[in-house]
């Protein structure tokens, strides 16, 4: 039987929390290191606007990670969401996306221990505990080992929670439709969740409830600021990215998913497996999570067209996020509808500051 997939539910409008979207294809958050670093990590250059405008066929765009404070930055030239100049910088991007009929949420991000003073304006990296990640940072001075972070005090934790809240308020001011809290890939929220990085003995460490406290305080602060219907979170329960480990992912992420469900947030965006790698890692039951969480389940990690059609058709996911395919295929929705060939992303230009590999991938109309 041949099916005209242009009518497939993957391409039909739906609602993600309070956000009406034109289809169930999501552009995953993608660090591209093209903000104006010298000016203060400000987005909104003509090429930044063009990059997002080209990809505004996705029902929902999740922005590249955008740090909520200078010490929350872990890579060169990533944009922030804490200064007024950054808010102004984002405005033409969100306007261009809306003009093209898409929606966009800001991924609000704190890297915690995954950084180096070369990237934070000299500030010492912080984390739940003084556990050094076995990772190197890429700086303008080359590759350097990441140092042991300083353990955050309870007072400082309160301040960081407030930075996420302000980031969310700024995102709305900048014209975003909502936010995605970056709870994945071994950054600060994930560092609190997992026992490999969190060795605290106070209210933020030890038990499942204590390790989930920071994540839930961030969620609650952001929800109080902008409303649950505009808040999502990205989780990667089994990824080993950025030297993160946990002895029992099902226990901590199972509890977290149930608590998120109680709060009625718009979506959970799951990285199923090792981020950018194997999907079949043990340790967490994603099918269980799909049932336990009544909001929108956005699936991610190595999805092909066939997998995405199948996931939405079977109900395994409400929407599917594509990362690398969106780097190389600005018109991805059209290509998925028509089942055409796909451009192949070039990893050499993922983080190279310029227009090459950023706004020069051809669309079908140009490729013909
Ligand atoms: C790749 C390069 C830099 C950052 C993540 C924000 O892993 C990232 C990231 C990925 O979530």
Q: What is the DSSP letter of 148?
A: P
5 Cα to the center of ligand 1, angstroms: 32
Write the residue with the smallest CA distance to atom 2 of ligand 1: 31
pLDDT of 197 over the 90 cut: yes
CATH for 55: 3.20.20.70
What is the residue range of 109's domain?
9-366
pLDDT of 4 reads: 76
Q: Is residue 266 part of a domain?
A: yes
Count how many domains the chain has: 1
- pLDDT tens digits along 299-310: 999 999 999 999
pLDDT of 3 over the 80 cut: no
Q: Is residue 2 part of a domain?
A: no
Give the active site residues.
187
Q: What residues are paired with 178 via a beta bridge?
A: 105
Q: Which of 29, 34, 75, 79 to mutate to test the pocket of ligand 1 (most atoms within 8 A of CB)?
A: 75
Min mean pLDDT across 2-11, 103-112, 279-288, 318-327 is at: 2-11
Nearest ligand 1 atom to the CA of 350 is 2
368 Cα to the center of ligand 1, angstroms: 33
- Mean pLDDT over residues 13-36, rounded? 98
Q: Which of 65, 115, 273, 323 to mutate to test the pocket of ligand 1 (most atoms within 8 A of CB)?
A: 65
Q: Is residue 67 part of a domain?
A: yes
Enter the tokens of residue 90. 């984002």
User: H or E stretch including 145?
Assistant: strand 142-145
Q: Which of 185, 191, 345 to mutate to test the pocket of ligand 1 (most atoms within 8 A of CB)?
A: 185
Q: Is residue 312 part of a domain?
A: yes
Q: Is residue 337 part of a domain?
A: yes
Question: Among residues 219, 216, 215, 235, which one has the least CA distance to residue 227?
Answer: 219
Nearest ligand 1 atom to the CA of 65 is 6
pLDDT of 2 over the 60 cut: no
End-to-end Cα separation, the chain, in angstroms: 29
Write the residue with the smallest CA distance to atom 8 of ligand 1: 31
Q: Is residue 163 part of a domain?
A: yes
pLDDT of 124 over the 50 cut: yes
- pLDDT tens digits along 279-300: 999 999 999 999 999 999 999 9
């Amino acid at each position: 039987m041949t099916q005209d997939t242009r009518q497939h539910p993957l391409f039909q409008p739906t609602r993600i929390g309070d956000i009406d979207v034109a289809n169930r294809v999501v552009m995953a958050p993608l660090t591209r290191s093209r903000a104006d670093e010298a000016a203060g990590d400000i987005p909104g250059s003509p090429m930044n606007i063009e990059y997002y405008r080209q990809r505004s066929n996705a029902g929902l765009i999740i922005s590249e990670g955008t740090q909520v404070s200078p010490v929350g930055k872990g890579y060169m030239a990533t944009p922030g969401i804490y200064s007024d100049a950054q808010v102004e910088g984002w405005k033409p991007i969100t306007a261009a996306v809306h003009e093209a009929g898409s929606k966009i949420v800001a991924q609000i991000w704190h890297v915690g221990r995954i950084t180096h003073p070369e990237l934070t304006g000299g500030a010492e990296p912080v984390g739940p505990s003084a556990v050094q990640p076995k990772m190197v940072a890429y700086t303008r001075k080359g590759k350097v080992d990441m140092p042991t972070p300083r353990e955050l005090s309870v007072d400082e934790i309160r301040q960081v929670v407030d930075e996420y809240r302000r980031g969310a308020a700024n995102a709305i001011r900048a014209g975003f439709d909502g936010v995605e809290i970056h709870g994945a890939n071994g950054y600060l929220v994930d560092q609190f969740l997992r026992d490999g990085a969190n060795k605290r003995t106070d209210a933020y460490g030890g038990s499942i409830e204590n390790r989930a406290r920071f994540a839930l305080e961030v969620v609650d602060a952001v929800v109080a600021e902008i409303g649950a219907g505009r808040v999502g979170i990205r989780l990667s329960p089994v990824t080993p990215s950025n030297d993160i480990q946990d002895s029992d992912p099902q226990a901590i992420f199972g509890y977290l998913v149930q608590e998120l469900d109680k709060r009625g947030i718009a979506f959970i965006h799951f990285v199923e497996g090792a981020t950018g790698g194997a999907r079949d890692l043990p340790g967490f039951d994603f099918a269980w999570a799909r049932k336990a969480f009544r909001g929108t389940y956005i699936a991610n990690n190595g999805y092909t067209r066939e997998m995405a059609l199948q996931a939405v058709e079977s109900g395994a996911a409400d929407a599917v996020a594509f990362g690398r395919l969106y780097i190389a295929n600005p018109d991805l929705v059209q290509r998925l509808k028509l089942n055409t060939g796909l451009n192949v992303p070039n990893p050499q230009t993922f983080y190279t500051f310029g227009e090459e590999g950023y706004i020069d991938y051809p669309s079908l109309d140009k490729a013909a």
